[in-house]
Amino acid sequence: MLKLLVRAARVSTSRNHSGFAAFSFSSRCVHSLQFATVEAEEVSGSKPAEVLNLVQGKWVGSSNWNTILDPLNGDSFINVAEVDETGIQPFVESLSSCPKHGVHNPFKAPERYLMYGDISTKAAHMLSLPKVSDFFTRLIQRVSPKSYQQAFAEVYVTQKFLENFCGDQVRFLARSFAVPGNHLGQQSHGFRWPYGPVAIITPFNFPLEIPVLQLMGALYMGNKPVLKVDSKVSIVMEQMLRLLHTCGLPVEDVDFINSDGKIMNKLLLEANPRMTLFTGSSRVAEKLAVDLKGRVKLEDAGFDWKILGPDVHEEDYTAWVCDQDAYACSGQKCSAQSLLFMHENWSKTSLLSKMKDLAERRKLTDLTIGPVLTVTTDSMLEHVNKLLEIPGSKLLFGGRPLEDHSIPSIYGAIKPTAVYVPLEEIMKDKNFELVTKEIFGPFQIVTDYKNSELSVVLDALERMHNHLTAAVVSNDPLFLQEVIGKSVNGTTYAGLRARTTGAPQNHWFGPAGDARGAGIGTPEAIKLVWSCHREVIYDYGPVPKNWEIPPST
């Protein structure tokens, strides 16, 4: 049934979305992928896949195997070789072998900048091949179930990112500058410098895009990374590393580890990487910041808001974007729409009923709604019930478990859900923390406001803790100016077509307002996260004629 589901979704995508490459072919194409060790559609309880570790240039197993359950039916369908406490030493030694000045830098092995431009060229070409992009799209669907289009978009963004860093673009990341000195022979030069040994920890929800973009950024700048991806989805990155090796990536340049959080924390403390990139929950992020003495860059939780301004336009389009922002990938995006502020002019329209209709057309058969991998059904429904105890709150739609499915109980399965809470109740101290709790699933809060209450909305934004994405839906320049000028979210869409989700390769994606904040995707993000500034002051002379030793100062 899964094969039929995926193929049907693939055909639908190729017919209806011309922005993505259209293709159709049989699953036998996977047999021609020389890098692949699995066939995506065949990974199942009857034919489980295995995921290995990579350290010091060798793929290795482990004495400890973690069994991953199929999120659609609960079968044991992937065995992951997880490193335990006795197995971390090779990873510690591998990271420790990298000097602080990195594997390459502007003065050392500069030919590696060109090498990574070539690797990017080859990898981008590989991902542009329909049989390869389809392989990764279906593999993503198996471990992090989402619609074919959503999974394919992840592959597409990754391919475009690699295209952006072909040829000379990697060396341009290390562009330096010079400033004239105080006297003849003196100049100061600013260089982008690697950290050397680094670590990358990424979550389950984007098993290809996030780890590839951060990994390649680390490598471009001359670092030696150890990469850990959530074990539930690490098979995707294992296969991608094998593809990169066929494209020329030296096998010793990257270590890849599967482990639980406790073991990874121990590895970080013993290997002492110079910088760690963490994408995931804010609770773990804060622990890492303390344990690693601040040597971190974080892209953590996102309770993301959208404000609909006073000018009402394109009601159908706005409803569709709200539905996509809140419920695509079953709401499992750090950029998902968590809180919708509607101006009273929007409250008078049929926006909410249209959002309800769009939410209710989502179904498990095409994975436009699906399993929630980090929050159980009971936890989500308990949160809904607590919100409904707030005076004036009401269930707009959803609030019930999915029906007729075989999703295991360790995962969540609820219908797309929205709860209305009055603005004045949201702002009460006893309610604010509850209302702004991030639920990493198909769930959002909706409220409304009057012209006179915009200052209250802006105060709510100021009180929030996470400032990742936001949307201000308005074509009123004065309204946009007011909201943007008094908010801080690092990736903010503004205008009629504003959204909260979307992390393409062409713009910065990351939080603002936190000195530890990490970005992804752009040259600015790569340079900020994966390099530091080094100043070299050349002072050749000559020493002035008739110079004498001056008095002590």
Tokens read off for 107: 């003065």
Start-end of H helices in 364-498: 377-388, 423-426, 429-435, 454-463, 477-485
User: DSSP per residue over 302-365, as a string?
Assistant: --EEEEE-SS---HHHHHHHHHHHHHGGGG-STT-EEEEEEEHHHHTTTHHHHHHHHHHT--GG
Active site residue: 39, 334, 438, 453, which one? 334
The amino acid that residue 205 corresponds to is N
As a whole number of angstroms, the distance between CA 461 and CA 292 comes to: 30
The amino acid that residue 432 corresponds to is F
Through-space distance between the first and last CA atoms of the chain, rounded to whole angstroms: 84
As a whole number of angstroms, the distance between CA 253 and CA 405 comes to: 43
User: Catalytic: 247?
Assistant: no
Region of residue 28 (left: phi > 0; alpha: psi -120 to 50; beta: else): alpha
Q: List, edge to edge, every strand of the sheet that includes 177-180.
A: 177-180, 186-193, 532-539
User: Please, are residues 411 and 371 in contact by the beta-carbon 8 Å criterion?
Assistant: yes
| Radius of gyration of the chain, Cα coordinates, nearest whole angstrom | 25
The DSSP code for 490 is S
User: Catalytic: 453?
Assistant: no
User: Please, are residues 53 and 238 in contact by the beta-carbon 8 Å criterion?
Assistant: no
As a whole number of angstroms, the distance between CA 435 and CA 433 comes to: 6
Distances in Å between the Cα of 49 and the Cα atoms of 43, 44, 232, 540 are: 6, 8, 12, 61
Any idea which residue has 């269930």 for tokens?
395
Active site residue: 82, 154, 163, 299, which one? 299
Active site residues: 299, 334
